[in-house]
Structures are given as C-alpha cells and as structure tokens.
Amino acid sequence: MQQIVNAYMRGEGGMAADTMEAAVFRGDGRLSIETVPVPRIRRDDDVLLRVLACGVCGTDLHILSVPPGHPATPGVVLGHEYTGEVVEVGPAVTHLRPGDRVVVDANLKCGHCLACRCGRAHMCANMTTLGIYLDGGFAPYNVAPAAALHPIDPSVPPHLAAFAEILSCVVNGARKVRMGPGDTVVILGAGPAGLLFTQMARAAGARVVVAEVSPYRQRFARECGADLVVNPAAEDLVQAVMAVTKGGADVVIDAVGSQFAAALPLVRRQGQVLLFGMDATAQAPVRQVDITRNEIEVRGTYIADGTFPAAIRLIEAGVLPLEKLITHRVSVKELPAALGALRRREAIKVIVEP
C-alpha cells in the first residue's frame, strides 16, 4: 500500500507532490483558481482521494451569486458532486484500500443529534458539507471521512459516476411522490435536476410535461423523454397542462426552487407538489386555501436520505441516459468559463476533470 501512496505523492498519479490547482471560493461571488497544498490524512478515519470527476451543481451557482442564494465558507475548495480513487486510508479504515473507486456523500452527519439517533440523519442538526463548508472536489486531491464514501464499480466512467450525489437527491424526491404508468408529471425547470426527474418519470411510465423558458434546455428536455415541452414565457402553462390532463397533473415538481406558486394551479385535486429546488432568495406568494380546499399534498425533499446505494445501482445498471446531460467536460482552469455558460443557460451538466 505504501508503494502506491508514494507513487501518487511523487507525481505518478498525475500531480506534483506538494501542491495542486484548485477552485477556491473567496466570498462575494468570487471563484479563484489557486495553487494550494495537496491535502493529507490527519484523522484515523480519513481517506485521501484522487478526484477523477466532479459535477457542477446549481448550488455552486447560488454560492457564487451576489447576493448569495446559498451560504459557503470563504477559502474553501468548492465541488460536492465528485468521484475518486482511493490513494491512502487512515489506520481506522478497514473497508477501503488504495485503488478502490468511490463516490462521495458530501453531507457529513454528526451521528449523535436527535435526528441522527432517530434514523433521520439527513436532517442532522450539526451537518456540514464537503465542497461547501469543507474542501471539496474541484481539485485533483481531496480528503474525506471513510463513512462518506460509497464504492462504485470501476467500469463506470468517472464522468457518469459523478452523478451519484445529485441522483441520490432526485431518487429521494422521487420516492416521496407516487408517479407511475399513466400518471402525468409536470416538471418545472430543465436544469440537471429537472432533466433527471424527467428521465426518472419517463422510466416509471409517466407522461411528462416540462416547463422551461430556455430554448437550449427545451431541446434537452425532449431528448430526455418529455412528451410536451412548454415555454411559460410564451405560452399559457396552465392551459397547456389542462389540455393534456383531466383536471391537472398528478404530480408537479419544482426543480428550480422558486416555483411553488406556479405549481399549485397545475396540479389536480388531491394531487402532489414536490418542492426540490432550493433558492434562499425566493419568496413565493401562495393562497393556503387553494391547498386546503383541493387537498393538495405538498412535500419538501432535501438531499439524499439513504438513497446513495439506489443511485449507484441505477448508474451501474445504465437505466438512465445520463450521458445526454453532459455538455461540458473541463479542467479546473476552464471552470470559470464553464460557469459563465451555465449562467447563460448554454450548458446543462458541467463535469470538472482535475
């Protein structure tokens, strides 16, 4: 094992021994490409990873917005959707060894708060996150606790394995609603999460309507299996949904984080609204009576909830056409330009390959 570690540290794993280039958040919407020290194992349960691929999340864009739509720690290496190869393990780690391929559950739970003890670890009161509050995957190397790492078949290309984090969140949301053959599912937003929901709903046999204002993203919605794509800036979305349903959709999913008010007129009586997207700056004016009178079931869904293994199985089995979502594969140096493409809605999924 030490020979493998020494090889990586000599640079035979693709990096210089002591420093590396990383994308560092500097606050106030600033992302800086900097030379930083290669991280080292410091705790018994630490694992040193060579990062193979890291996806850019909508949360990253919120962090880099002014004002920010999501908090983060200035000085941290961003990137929380990553996959890597084990380089070195701490002395307490027994289930992983150098050379293993893993994906990372970046949300670290304390294990001792009430939520953790009640089996609701994703509601942990003391949660912190790699790539947001602690150093993450927009760099060639990263150190993560062993408990956050899930093995994945090494035959899975790294750029597809990097979908595990966001897909685990989508699987958690999909499990909260009932969508199956013959149901109509309306998805608001055709970003990566919305398109994953489109693929999931299509695989479940549902009829899928996607609402998206960007012509670029509309094309991807069609390619991912949407039966109907509506531009709500140019068409009456409610009228379009009612034309293909009998009284509204069975399920409406807000994949944006600001569309709660838009979702309610689209859902049938006793239908379901799933709130997936997150935007701390959004405020949605809703009439509570519309929910009460029509017995609308409104569910929030937050990160993964024991759904990493299911997401990994989906990726390994090739059930979803994930390759369709990748528009950019870039280096760390090229990340700022790719973020610009995302902001202009000229990209879907950006994968950083350090």
* pLDDT for 16: 43
Query: Would you call 35 helix, strand, or coil by DSSP?
Result: strand
Phi-psi region of 297 (alpha: psi -120 to 50; beta: other; left: phi over 0): beta
What is the average pLDDT across 47-55?
Answer: 98
pLDDT above 60 for 7? no
Between strands 149-151 and 101-104, the pairing is: antiparallel
pLDDT above 90 for 22? yes
Task: List the structure tokens of 34.
Answer: 């900097």
Backbone angles phi, psi at 120, to 5 degrees: -115, 55
Quick: pLDDT tens for 210-228. Answer: 999 999 999 999 999 999 9
Quick: pLDDT tens for 159-196. Answer: 999 999 999 999 999 999 999 999 999 999 999 999 99
pLDDT-derived band at 278, boundaries 50, 70, 90: confident
The gap from C-alpha 328 to its chain's centroid, in whole angstroms, comes to 16
223 contacts 288 by C-beta, under 8 angstroms: no
